[in-house]
Amino acid sequence: MRLWLQIVVTLVLLLAAVPLAARYLPASHPWLDRVGLLDPLTGLGLVAEAGRDGDKTNGRRQGGGAYLVVARPLEERALNEEVVAIGSARGVQAVSVSTEVAGRLDSIAVAAGDRVEQGQVIAELDSRAARFAVEKADLLLQDSRAALDRARQLSASGAGSALQLQEAELYVKTAELSLHQAEYDLSQHRIIAPISGWVGLIAEQAGSLVYPGTEITRIEDRSSLIVDFRVPERVVSRLKSGDALQAAPLADPTLVLPGKILALDNRVNEASRTLRVQASIENREDRLRSGMAFRITIGFTGEPHLAVDPLAIQWGATGAYVWAVRDGKAKYLPVRILQRNAEAVLIEAETEPGDLIVTEGVQSLREGAEVTLADAPT
């Protein structure tokens, strides 16, 4: 007895749910039409009909006339795809400036943050000993040249041998090499900027004792930045040097800068299935710094696809669909959405030439219903 009571209650609830769905859920009308319930519910007044102007209700004329809808022809638009990656930036050139000889720092001519040009003196070491070595080598060279002159005179008079003349010439060449070495050692006591750029933090100070390889500072040219990032292997074949991209620092996403691809690696990483890419970003206003993280966006233009107005997309139990006008009647078309934006939705659907897609008046349409086209309101 209780089982029969439950069955009766369930049937009553179902009978009540169908009219409610027909009245308040227009998306259920195609399903009700397919099972043959839409017309009986319309005759009972549970599904509203539409008239013209002030008598319209949900787009259909009263008295069973054709549906009044606004429809537009299909368009084709390219499927735009974006690849987004995160990369780190570095200057287009960067050099660590170190000493090549041991000594005591006599002076530092720059400060952190200064702009220097290639060849500019950054610091100097105490060079008194090196200058003394140059003077000594110069004296030895003068003495060896005087000895060479005497050996030539003796050789010309027959009092000197050819061997003595050769030895004197060798002493001159040795003295010249010693002078060159002393002058080179003296030049190493001046630390020169190898590139143009901005000076980093100064690691030493005047009076410090330094040794060969001691880093004084770092100079970086950040007039443009190099960003290293990785892209998935599926887009590798679509990239090439010179392709445009956009870069935005994570610290300031509103600052979007143009850039271009400089180089692509020659091998995909087997672990991550990604390819390393280098891009260049202009930094003319010097607002960016090395080490900053950037959001890199690369856009691709794909194949053309059907595009419809976002208002045309409806949703049912089986997914998205649109109403098409074909031969003056409504046609239910299931669609697969490929891309959605504010202006259009790119879809895949089984359309035919001449199909119009309904954008207004879709609420009460059913399969095969006659429709009347109306101009879109201004």
- Going by the DSSP 8-state scheme, the letter that residue 376 receives in this structure is P
CATH topology of domain 84-91+220-302: Elongation Factor Tu (Ef-tu); domain 3 (2.40.30)
Residue 19 predicted with pLDDT over 70: no
Q: Beta strand 67-73 with 371-373: parallel, antiparallel or unpaired?
A: parallel
pLDDT of the residue at 20: 63
- Percent of the chain predicted with pLDDT > 70: 82
Buried b (16+ CB within 10 A) or exposed e, 220-251: bbbebbbbbbbbeeeeeeebeeebebbbebee
What's the CA angle centered on 361, arms 374 and 70, to 5 degrees? 30
pTM of this structure = 0.56
pLDDT, average across residues 302-314: 85
* Domain boundaries defined on the chain: 1-47, 48-74+309-378, 84-91+220-302, 127-188
CB 186 within 8 A of CB 133: yes
For residue 54, what pLDDT band results from cuts at 50, 70 and 90? very low
CB proximity list for 186: less than 8 A, separation 6 or greater: 127, 130, 131, 133, 134
Q: Which CATH architecture has domain 127-188?
A: Orthogonal Bundle (1.10)
* 47 vs 216, higher pLDDT: 216
pLDDT of the residue at 58: 44
Tokens 């009978």 found at: 15
Residue 170 predicted with pLDDT over 60: yes
Tokens 């890199």 found at: 296
Q: Same fold for the domain at 48-74+309-378 and the one at 127-188? A: no
CATH topology of domain 48-74+309-378: 2.40.420
